[in-house]
Amino acid sequence: MRGDDVDVHDGGRRRRARLATAVAAAATAAALAVPFLAGGRTQAVPAGPVDTVRSAAFAEAETCADGGDPTASLSPSSAAGPAVARIQERGRLVVGVDQNSYLWGYRDPATGELAGFDIDLVRAVAEDLLGPDPQIVFRTIPTARRIPAIREGEVDMVVRTMTIDCDRVEKVAFSTAYFLSGQQLVVPEGSDITGLDDSVRGRRVCNARGSTAEKLLETEEYAALDVRQVKVANQLDCLVRLQLGEADAVLTDNALGAGQVAQDPSVKLVGEPATVEPYGIAMNLEDDDLVRRVNRVLEKYRAGGDGSRWRVSYDRWLADMMDPGTEPAPPEPVYRD
């Protein structure tokens, strides 16, 4: 399955390159899980901050079997090698994104444009590679298609709340981490589920195919809970399943879960995060020069503290749903060379 639709952004203009594939789940999602609109622009539902979304430093980060850190990437460089040259000669950047993750990568119903924290980052990368008003092809892809889309050359990169982990670094190359999250449950208000514990035993838990949530539930520790997995293509489909009573809980990164709470104040995050989920930009293993160039962009994106582009984007999209005690800051980059 290829990406459902493609938007081409050419400077200030946008044109639809091909029609979306209509599926029943997407229609249901559009009808049920629509963001709250206020004053003509999309806003989070004013349900108060989600106090369980923090820096994820309270959980244990993954270490690979060889003792390595999966978040260690290539040192930054502004050099233009073959991958960078390919994009510049083509004159446009092709990026795999989400259009269903509220506040991260979603289609704003007020404007019809893709927007969110991840989309801001895509624009920064494209500006560095192609200059002001770059042409960007946004290819929306389901969770399980992220790695195949890179390996098969459908996209130059994926910017889609994608966790860097030991399995994935064998298949694709990652930038340094630009955000930290953690796996947590979303449940309806009034639910007796309290977290990834005995309260969820035997219950229906929704997750996206190809996600780290799916993998977590299949580990020895959590397989013992004998949950019934409800697997879908995208995280928004899980919120719809929860709303329709077809799932008892959603397991997802709490940064995405907080977006679902912002969309629907009748659901909530429960328990403590079970993992650390560092988000990175994914690229082809052969595109070392592009990885280094993206890491150079991220160095500049983080620079400046409160005045950085990272912080401006954070304040615009994520600040309202975070714990008021959180000190917002991107994770420190780790380089292996």
**SS3 state of residue 182:** coil
Q: Classify residue 23 as left (phi > 0), alpha (psi -120 to 50) or beta.
A: beta
CA–CA separation, 205 and 228 (whole Å): 6
Question: Which of 270, 296, 312 is the C-terminal boundary of a domain?
Answer: 270
pLDDT at 166 over 90: yes
Indicate if 100 and 77 belong to the same structural domain.
Answer: yes
User: What does the DSSP 8-state code read for residue 329?
Assistant: -
pLDDT at site 321: 80
Query: Residue 317 maps to which CATH number?
Result: 3.40.190.10
Region 107-129: mean pLDDT is 96
pLDDT at site 41: 28
In a domain, 330, yes or no: no
pLDDT at site 123: 98
Centre a 10 Å sphere on the Cβ of residue 108 and count the other Cβ atoms it contains.
17
Indicate if 117 and 33 belong to the same structural domain.
Answer: yes
What are the φ/ψ torsions at residue 37 (nearest 5 degrees)? -105, 135
Indicate if 153 and 259 belong to the same structural domain.
Answer: no
Closest CA to 236 of 97, 100, 43: 100
pLDDT at site 320: 86
pLDDT at site 235: 83
Share of the chain above pLDDT 70, in %: 81
Question: What are the CA-CA distances from residue 329 to residues 91, 276, 316 (Å)?
Answer: 33, 16, 14
Closest CA to 128 of 82, 163, 77: 77
Of 5-19, 86-100, 171-185, least confident by mean pLDDT is: 5-19
In a domain, 244, yes or no: yes
In a domain, 336, yes or no: no
CA–CA separation, 118 and 314 (whole Å): 10
Indicate if 157 and 224 belong to the same structural domain.
Answer: no
> What string of H, E and C letters represents the secondary structure of 14-66?
EEEEECCCCCHHHHHHHHHCCCCEECCEECCCCCCCCCCCCCCCCCCCCCCCC
Indicate if 283 and 266 belong to the same structural domain.
Answer: no
In the chain the first and final C-alpha atoms are separated, in Å, by 36
What is the number of domains present in the chain?
2
In a domain, 332, yes or no: no
Question: Which of 270, 292, 307 is the C-terminal boundary of a domain?
Answer: 270
Indicate if 57 and 100 belong to the same structural domain.
Answer: yes
Indicate if 287 and 251 belong to the same structural domain.
Answer: no
Question: What are the CA-CA distances from residue 171 to residues 165, 178, 234, 285, 286 (Å)?
Answer: 10, 20, 21, 7, 10
Indicate if 240 and 144 belong to the same structural domain.
Answer: no
pLDDT at 26 over 90: no
- Highest-pLDDT range among 16-30, 31-45, 182-196: 182-196
pLDDT at site 213: 95
User: What is the DSSP code string of 113-181?
Assistant: -EESHHHHHHHHHHHHHH-SS-EEEEEE--GGGHHHHHHTTS-SEE-SSPBP-TTGGGTSEE----EEE
Region 306-325: mean pLDDT is 89
pLDDT at 36 over 60: no
Closest CA to 93 of 130, 140, 118: 130
In a domain, 331, yes or no: no
In a domain, 328, yes or no: no
- For 56-98, the pLDDT digits (tens) are 444 566 899 999 999 999 999 999 999 999 999 999 999 999 9
Sequence-ordered list of residues with C-beta below 8 angstroms from that of 89, at least 6 positions apart, any chain: none
Indicate if 209 and 308 belong to the same structural domain.
Answer: no
Mean pLDDT of the chain: 85
Give the type of residue at 330.
P
1 neighbors 26 (Cβ within 8 angstroms): no
Indicate if 165 and 242 belong to the same structural domain.
Answer: no
**SS3 state of residue 324:** coil
pLDDT at site 234: 86
Q: Which tokens is 291 given?
A: 């990885």
Region 104-119: mean pLDDT is 95
pLDDT at site 5: 52
pLDDT at 105 over 80: yes
Indicate if 114 and 37 belong to the same structural domain.
Answer: yes
Question: What are the CA-CA distances from residue 172 to residues 169, 277, 284 (Å)?
Answer: 5, 17, 5
In a domain, 285, yes or no: yes
CA 114, chain centre distance (Å) = 14
Indicate if 147 and 296 belong to the same structural domain.
Answer: yes
Residue 185 pLDDT class (50, 70, 90 cuts): very high
In a domain, 155, yes or no: yes
Which range marks the domain in which residue 313 is found? Answer: 6-180+278-321
CA–CA separation, 88 and 293 (whole Å): 13
Residue 145 pLDDT class (50, 70, 90 cuts): very high
pTM: 0.85
Buried b (16+ CB within 10 A) or exposed e, 244-277: eeebbbbbbbbbbbbbbbbbbeebbbbbbbbbbb
- For 216-270, the pLDDT digits (tens) are 999 999 999 999 999 999 888 999 999 999 999 999 999 999 999 988 999 999 9
